[in-house]
C-alpha cells in the first residue's frame, strides 16, 4: 500500500496563469475526492469521482476549475486564470466505501 | 448547509495527561471520522464510526458516535509529544450530502514534555 500521492507538492504561480495538479489514488480504490484547505480551516469538498464518472461537484468549484479522471485511475485538477484567492492546499483523497484516505496535498501560492 | 462545531479550538497539556475533544452538528450524520494533520501534510485517518452509540478504540485513542447522531468525541489517553497536531472531525450523510465529508475547524493540540 503506497498511499495516495500528489504532484507537485508545491506550486507557485502568477495570477492569471493556469495550473494542473495530479493525484494518484490507492490502487484498488474506485472513489476519488478533491478538497481545498485554507489556513486555520478544515478541508472543504470540491468534487468526487466514482471510477471515471464525476458524480458530485461543490458550488465552490467555479467554472475556472475542472477535474478529470479519464481512466478511473489518476485524476487531474486544473485551475484556469488563477486568482490570489485560489491560494490554498489542494488535497486528494481516495476510498472504497465510507472511509477517505488523504494524500500529502499540493500547496498552491498565487502571487 | 451542514456545519460542524469542534471544541476546544486549542489545548495545551502536559505529557501523560488525557485529552478530550468533541464535535457537534446542527444536523445528523451517519458516519463520523476523526483525522490528525501535521503541518504541511494531509490529514491521516485515525478512527471511523458508523453506528449511533458506537465506541471504537485505536491504541490510546477512543472515539464515540453520539446517540443523537449529531455529535462525536475523541479521547487520547496518556498523551506523548508526537500527539501534537491538529485533530479534525468529519461527518458524512449519504442521503443529504452524498459522499462528501464535512469537516470541523480542528482542535490544535500542544503537548509539553
pLDDT digits (tens, 9 = 90+) for B53-74: 999 999 999 999 999 999 999 9
Q: What are phi and psi of B74, to 5 degrees?
A: -130, 130
CB-CB under 8 Å, A40 with B101 = no
Closest by alpha carbon to B2, among B89, B108, B63? B89
Q: Which among B99, B24, B32 has a CA at the least distance from the CA of A93? A: B99
Q: What is the β-pairing status of strands A106-110 and A10-13?
A: parallel
* C-alpha span between A34 and A93 (Å, rounded): 6
Q: How far apart are CA B82 and CA B69, in angstroms?
A: 30
Distance between B73 CA and the closest CA of chain A, angstroms: 17
Q: Is the pLDDT score of B2 beyond 80? A: no
Q: Residue ranges of chain A with pLDDT lower than 70?
A: 1
pLDDT of residue B84: 98
Q: How far is CA A46 from CA A90, A111, B82, B89, B103, in A?
A: 9, 22, 31, 18, 13
Rg from Cα positions in chain A? 13
CA-angle at B69, arms to A49 and B18, nearest 5° = 100
pLDDT band at B77 (very low <50, low <70, confident <90, very high): very high
pLDDT the model gives residue A87: 98
Chain B residues near residue A6 by CB distance under 8 angstroms: 42
pLDDT in the model for residue A73: 92
Pairing of strands A19-24, A10-13: unpaired
Residue A1: per-residue pLDDT: 56
Q: Which residues of A touch B43 (CB under 8 A)?
A: 43, 91, 102
Rounded (5°) CA angle A40-A98-B47: 60
Pairwise CB contact (< 8 Å): A45 & B40: no
pLDDT band at B98 (very low <50, low <70, confident <90, very high): confident
pLDDT of residue B1: 54
Alpha helices in chain B (DSSP H): 94-97
Residue percentage of chain A with pLDDT more than 90: 90
Using the beta-carbon criterion (under 8 Å), do A98 and B50 form an inter-chain contact?
yes
CA dist., res. A32 & res. A36, Å (int)? 14
pLDDT in the model for residue A12: 98
Amino acid at each position: 500500500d503506497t498511499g495516495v500521492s500528489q504532484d507537485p507538492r508545491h506550486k507557485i504561480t502568477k495570477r492569471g496563469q493556469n495550473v494542473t495538479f495530479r493525484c494518484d489514488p490507492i490502487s484498488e480504490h474506485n472513489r476519488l475526492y478533491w478538497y481545498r484547505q485554507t489556513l486555520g480551516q478544515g478541508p472543504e469538498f470540491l468534487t468526487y469521482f466514482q471510477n471515471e464518472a464525476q458524480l458530485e461537484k461543490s458550488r465552490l468549484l467555479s467554472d475556472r476549475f475542472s477535474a478529470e479522471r479519464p481512466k478511473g485511475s489518476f485524476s487531474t485538477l486544473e485551475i484556469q486564470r488563477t486568482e490570489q484567492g485560489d491560494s490554498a492546499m489542494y488535497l486528494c483523497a481516495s476510498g472504497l466505501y465510507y472511509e477517505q484516505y488523504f494524500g500529502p496535498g499540493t500547496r498552491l501560492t498565487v502571487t | 448547509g451542514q456545519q460542524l462545531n469542534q471544541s476546544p479550538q486549542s489545548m495545551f497539556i502536559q505529557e501523560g495527561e488525557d485529552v478530550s475533544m468533541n464535535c457537534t452538528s446542527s444536523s445528523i450524520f451517519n458516519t463520523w471520522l476523526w483525522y490528525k494533520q501535521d503541518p504541511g501534510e494531509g490529514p491521516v485517518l485515525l478512527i471511523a464510526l458508523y453506528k449511533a452509540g458506537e465506541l471504537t478504540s485505536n491504541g490510546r485513542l477512543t472515539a464515540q458516535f453520539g446517540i443523537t447522531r449529531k455529535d462525536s468525541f475523541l479521547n487520547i489517553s496518556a498523551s506523548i509529544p508526537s500527539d501534537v497536531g491538529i485533530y479534525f472531525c468529519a461527518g458524512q450523510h449519504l442521503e443529504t450530502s452524498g459522499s462528501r465529508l464535512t469537516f470541523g475547524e480542528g482542535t490544535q493540540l500542544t503537548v509539553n514534555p
